[in-house]
Amino acid sequence: MKTPDHSFFPIRVMVASIVSLLLVFSFFSNAFSEKSVPVAKAYVIPVSGEVSPQMAAFIKRSVQEIPLSEKPLIVFEMDTFGGRVDSALQIVDTITGITDAPTLAYVKTKAISAGALIALACDKLAMKKHTTIGDCAPITYSQEGPQMLGEKFQSPLRAQFRSLAKKNGYDENLAEAMVSADLEIIRVELDGKTLYLEATEFNDLGEKQKAQVKNKKTVVRKGELLTMDDVEAFELGFSKASATSLDDAIDKAGYGSLETVTLEKNWTETFLGIILTISPILMMIGLAAVYTEIKAPGFGAPGIVGIICLSLAFGSQYAVGMANYTELLIILLGLVLLGFEIFVIPGFGLAGIAGFFFISVGLVLSLQDFVLPTPSMPWQSDIMINNITMVLVSYLVAIGAGLFMFRYVLPRFSFASRGPYLTRSLQDSHAESSETNKVSVGDQGIAMSFLRPSGKMKIGNEFFDVITEAEFIEKGTPVIITQINGNRIIVTRKESS
C-alpha cells in the first residue's frame, strides 16, 4: 500500500488561498459596482381617452424621452374604450419595439377594444380590482347604430392577437375570442394540463382523448366576445395580479417597490389635440377663403386667412406623423398653381382646377399614414373613403361660403375712403365719349368678363367698358345699364337673373 505524497501540500494551500482571495475581491468589486448603478424607476405613460393619432404620437414621444440608462420599468396606465385601429397598431409597434426595458400594462379602469390590443402588447399585465379588459371586435357606425364588421376585418386583427399571445405566453384561442364572436372556447383538463380548445378542436379529439377529459367547461359561448374582469383575467392567465393601486401592481408583477414618474402631455400636445379636433372646420374655412380670394381682385385678408387655416390643418397632421414632406410638396404645388390663377392668368381655368386638385390630394394624404389601402388591412379603405368625403364636403361648404361672402359680405366693405375731399363736386361736369353716345340707360347686354367691379359688357356686336356699384358680377351674367355719368357706364345685374 502506497503512502500519500505530501510534497504537493504547500502548492494546494497556495492555490486555495489565491482562489479565496479572488472570490473575496470579486464579491467586494461587485458590491461597489452595484452601488454605482442608478436606482430603477417606473415611468408611467397614461393611455387615457380615445385611441387616436395624437395618442400614438404622445406615446411614441414619451417612450423616446425615457432614459434607458436608469434601467427603468415602463408602465402603460390603461383607461380607454378604444378608438382607431391604425393608431392602436402604431402604439403596438412602439411598445413591441422597446427591447431595453420591461413593459407593464396596468389597467386602471378599463382596456376595451383597441385598449385591449395595446395592453396585450406589453410584457406583463396587471389589473386594478373591479376593472375590465377585452371586446376588441372591429365595428362601424351607421344609421342603425354600431355594427360589427365581418371576417375580412376580423382576420388581420386575430392574427395580431395571436402574435402578441405567442410573445407573452397567453393562450391564443382566448386572445382570438376577444376579436371574433363566432368562436366557442372550452376549457378542459387533459393529461394533467389545462387547455383552452376551440369547439371544432374539441370535436376533432379522438374518442379515447375525450374519455380522458376532466372538468370540461365552456369559457366563451358562441356569439359572445371575451371580456374579463381582473379575477377572470388572472384565472385565464392574462393578468399577473389583482392590485389595489399602481404601486401594488408593480410590486405584485415582480418588480418590487419602485419610484414612479408619470409622463404628461406638454402644452404643445394639448394645443395639437385641439387643432386636430377642429381640423375639418379649419379646412372648410381655409378652402372658402382661398376660393373667395380667387374671385376677388388682388390679394388681401381672405388669402391670408386661407393660408393660415390650411397650414394649421396640415401642420397638425404632420406633427402626429400622419403627413410628411410629400404631402407638403403636393399642397405647395397646388398653392403655386392657385397663385398663377390669381395673379397671372385672368379668370378661372385649368390652373385653378389643377391647384384645387393638388390641394385636395395633399389634404387626403395628410389625414392618413398610407398612400393606398393595403389588402391585409381592409380598414384602410374605410379610412380613405372617410378622408375623401371629408375633403369633398369641405370643398362644397367652402364654395357655398365663398359665394355668400362674394355676394353679400365683400360688397359692404367697398365703401369710399374717408377724406380729405374737395369742397366742390364734379356732379355737373361731363366728358365727351364715343362709347356713351352709343348707349343709353336701360340698354341690356351680357358681362363678357368678371366685373370686379369694372370690366366689359357686350350689347349687340359691340363691347363697352362698364363698372358696377359695390357689386361683383360673374362672367356671362345678363346686365342692364342703370346710369351714365360722363364717360362712365354703370351697370347692375338684371333682376330676372
Among 87-96, 177-186, 291-300, name the one with the lowest average pLDDT.
Answer: 291-300
Among 17-26, 37-46, 303-312, 421-430, name the one with the lowest average pLDDT.
Answer: 17-26
Question: Which residue is it, cell 408583477?
Answer: 253
Among 50-54, 56-60, 451-455, name the one with the lowest average pLDDT.
Answer: 451-455
Q: What is the DSSP string of 54-83?
A: HHHHHHHHHHHHS-GGG--EEEEEEEE--B
Percentage of the chain exceeding pLDDT 70: 78
Amino acid type, 468: T
Q: Which cell numbers in the block locate residue 200?
A: 371544432
Q: Which cell numbers in the block locate residue 107?
A: 389597467
Among 227-236, 289-298, 327-336, 353-362, name the one with the lowest average pLDDT.
Answer: 289-298
pLDDT at 26 over 50: no
pLDDT at 494 over 80: yes
How large is the average pLDDT for residues 415-430? 50
Q: Provide the pLDDT for residue 379.
A: 65
pLDDT tens, 354-379? 888 888 888 888 777 777 777 766 66
How large is the average pLDDT for residues 170-183? 90
- CATH of region 38-175+222-262: 3.90.226.10
- CATH of region 436-493: 2.40.50.140
How large is the average pLDDT for residues 447-451? 84
Band (146; pLDDT cuts 50, 70, 90):
low
Q: Provide the pLDDT for residue 423.
A: 52
Q: Provide the pLDDT for residue 31.
A: 40
- CB-based burial label for 346 (10 Å; 0-12, 13-18, 19+): exposed
Which region, left, alpha or beta, applies to residue 443 given φ > 0 means left and ψ of -120 to 50 means alpha?
beta
Domain ranges for the chain, please list them: 38-175+222-262, 184-221, 267-413, 436-493
- CB-based burial label for 294 (10 Å; 0-12, 13-18, 19+): buried
| Mean pLDDT value across the chain | 78
Q: Provide the pLDDT for residue 104.
A: 95
pTM across the whole model: 0.64
pLDDT tens, 224-264? 899 999 999 999 999 999 999 999 999 999 898 888 999 98
Q: Provide the pLDDT for residue 231.
A: 94
